[in-house]
Structure 1
Amino acid sequence: MTFWILISLTALVVAALLVLALLRGRSKDEPTAAYDLRVYREQLTGVDRDLARGVIGEADADRIRTEISRRILAADAMIRKEAEGVAQPRGVTWVVALLLVAALMGGGLMLYRSLGAPGYGDLPLSLRKEIAEERRLTRPDQASAEAEQPERPKPRIEQQYAELMEQLRAAVTARPDDLRGNILLAQNEANLGNFKASYEAMAQAIRLMGDDASARDYSEMAEMMIAAAGGYVSPEAEAALQKALDIDPDNGPAQYYWGVMLLQVGRPDATFRVWQEALRANPAPAPWVDAIRARIEDVAARAGVRYDAPQPASQPGPSAEDMAAMEEMTPEARLDAIRGMVAGLSERLATDGGTPEEWARLIRSLGVLDERAQANRVFHEAQQVFAGDDAALALIRQAGQAAEILQ
């Protein structure tokens, strides 16, 4: 109620000032002939003084008075004419004034109803933090988030690789305490986009490792949980991230997803601080660094902070000399050279990160080389890296279609 009283009084004061200015009209402070009129009246007084002192005679005084009076009449007529020239119709003025008040009050109300939040209480920073914490504690769990996800398209993989995966699954089912088998299963399920099976296998591997589990193990499990939930950081994924950060506070992937979690519950200010510290502590390029750089400026703006994230220099592709040399190779040698370039690009993107165009080129190249399982893994990783960047995601999806890993 206090807000409405204050905003209504403010609108009324502004409207009153505008109406007052309108009613007073736009006139000069003083007509141009007013100064002349004051001079002529002073001259009349001077004539009487000169006559009393005997400076001039009666006849001269009458003649001077007559001339000054004529000038006074002329100046007065000019003042009247100027006053009539700036006068404005009172009826029209009142109509315009009422329309102005209606537009200011009614238009302001309509604009607020459209853009504002009528009935919404004030949200001081302390209350916003309380709401964010409550949202964090009551948000859906991992199973609920997975249940809401649409069915993922099945990747096209080689028959031999599919048979090997079935053998690996059967072997891990028969020997659930096989640490190496669970790690391999988690990695390969992730390559196929089976993120639920991936994080379940990784969770079993972490249980087998016990206290030897590293921050990387926990962050990779959390990443697969987040991927299975469509980018949503559940309480279970948060717990895995917390374990990773407890072991290594500078674990980059965990810092990135921790910031994502804070952003999802309504704390862009905390996200900005976490991501800024992550960039400071980990200056080397990496996929998660690209993801932070792609979003941190928007997060900073939402947190009310002005921030310009430094952008890394893009890495060049093969030179013209390399392409010319490949033209002279035999088909087998050319294929080996292409595989070497693709491997080099894959390794660089995995360690240093890169642009959306480079990720798309790697996906297409793996499709050409018929390594669709690897292409599918890179495709999903690129989606995580450029989450929120619609232009980059469109480029990545086009590459996935070209590599025939999307049905």
Structure 2
Amino acid sequence: MAFWILTGFATLAMAGLLALVVLRNRNGSGEPAAAYDLRVYRQQLKDLDRDVARGIVAPEDAERLRTEIARRILAADAQVQAAETGGAMPNGPARLGAALLVLVIGVGTAVLYQRLGAPGYEDLGLERRVELSRQLAATRPTQSAAEASLPPAPPVEVEPNYQKLVEELRAATATRPDDPRGQNLLAEHEARLGNFKAAYEAKARYIELQNGDIEMDDLVDQAELMVMAAGGYVSPEAEELLRQVLSVQGNNGRARYYVGILMGQIGRPDRGFQIWAEALREGPAGAPWIRAIEAQMEDMAAHAGVNYRPITPPPATDGTALPGPDAAAVAAAQEMSTEDRQAMIENMVSGLAARLATEGGSPEEWARLITALGVLGRGEEAAKIYAEAQEKFTEDASAQATLRAAMDRVEAKP
């Protein structure tokens, strides 16, 4: 109630001030313009007498000028008298205009607040907002509920050979459900086809088969696939995996990225900003999660009420490996036929090319694509990618050297 009283008073006060301005301009309040003219004419009459005494103006001309000035004095005096009595300037229209002005401001403000504001929304202090965030985190939808609420995903166009390869892989893992290598490979390729639910289920089965010897990256992979399956929503199940990772690896970049998203989703963008800012300060620059954070950091800062100044991540100094097939995937590929292995490689190269085209990447990733195209015998396409990458890193001598080395390997291939 106090909010409505204060805003109503402020609105009416502003409207009243504007109405007074309208009434004052219309009803002649203050000195009329004719009063100024009257003083000018009287001063001209005094100056004329001095000019006659000094011989500047002839007596016959002085009489004519004196008559003209006297006529103007009489006319100006009549205007001043009319303005003082108010008989010549009715203020009825001004009053109507002032009333309409107050009405438009008052009603317009109320309508705008109904459309853009939050009527009935209580004043939330910090403790109350934190408590609401906790309630939202505790009652938010589960993974299955979030997946069920999404519309059906559009079909993905897949090369027939690759589709056949994945179907054979599904059949093989169905007959050998306890083969961890097959489950891991299935998770990767289901994800490539956009079947994220099947992908994270296969990943979960792979983790289960490790008998406790779990890699933190595998847990992050599963959580990431769950987020994708839920349309970007971080479910309680995905959060549990991420918290498990961070309890062991507090600086895991991907886990911190998704926990930051979670904080934004449950009404704690302030915590999300802190988590992402820490991740940016630690880097490394060019990492996939760093690029994702940089793309969304301004929005997170705006929701957190922070005046954000870009944070430059430090470069990688520990030889961090670029994302790519793991050892299990490579080993499984060796058991495939030549055609199936070629189809898998083609698909991986296509996926890397699509990601670099849409999201960009580090010089090493562009060099990897150039080299892979050369291995596949697609030298002309490798040259085009090399030219494109050169434009993206025109001012980075180190990057140019990396790209040039990759292209040299392609050109040296017989």
TM-score range, shorter chain: 0.5 to 0.7
- Describe the shift of the 1:228–1:29 C-alpha distance in structure 2 as closer, same or farther (beyond 3 A): same
The unaligned stretches of length 5 or more in structure 1 are 41-70, 313-335, 370-407
Amino acid at match of 1:81: Q
Report the secondary structure of 2:176's partner residue. Answer: helix
Question: Structure 2 CA distance, aligned partners of 1:161 and 1:118?
Answer: 54
Alignment root-mean-square deviation, CA: 4.3
Kindly report which structure 2 residues correspond to 1:1-400, keeping only aligned pairs within 5 A, or say none: 1-25=1-25, 29=31, 31-32=35-36, 78-82=76-80, 84=82, 88-152=89-153, 153=155, 156=158, 157-172=162-177, 175=178, 178-209=179-210, 212-307=213-308, 309=310, 343=349, 346=352, 354=360
1:58 maps to which residue? Answer: none
Question: Structure 2 CA distance, aligned partners of 1:253 and 1:222?
Answer: 10
> CA shift at 1:141, angstroms?
0.8
Contact 1:250/1:282 (<8 A) preserved: no
Give the alignment's TM-score, normalised by structure 1.
0.63
Question: Structure 2 CA distance, aligned partners of 1:194 and 1:74?
Answer: 94
Give the alignment's TM-score, normalised by structure 2.
0.62
Contact 2:280/2:312 (<8 A) preserved: no
> CA shift at 1:237, angstroms?
0.3
Report the secondary structure of 1:213's partner residue. Answer: coil
Contact 2:281/2:312 (<8 A) preserved: no
> CA shift at 1:201, angstroms?
3.0
Amino acid at match of 1:259: G
Contact 2:197/2:226 (<8 A) preserved: yes
Count of residue pairs brought into register by the alignment: 308
Contact 1:286/1:349 (<8 A) preserved: no
> CA shift at 1:160, angstroms?
4.0
Question: Structure 2 CA distance, aligned partners of 1:170 and 1:299?
Answer: 46
> CA shift at 1:302, angstroms?
2.2
Question: Structure 2 CA distance, aligned partners of 1:73 and 1:192?
Answer: 97
Contact 2:42/2:73 (<8 A) preserved: no
- Describe the shift of the 1:149–1:10 C-alpha distance in structure 2 as closer, same or farther (beyond 3 A): closer
> CA shift at 1:74, angstroms?
7.5
> CA shift at 1:72, angstroms?
10
Greater relative contact order (Cα < 8 A, sep 6+) = 1
1:194-222 alpha-carbon deviations (Å, 9 max, x no partner): 32233233233334445542321211110
Question: Structure 2 CA distance, aligned partners of 1:132 and 1:93?
Answer: 53
> CA shift at 1:308, angstroms?
5.2
**Percentage identity across paired residues of the two chains:** 42
> CA shift at 1:238, angstroms?
0.4
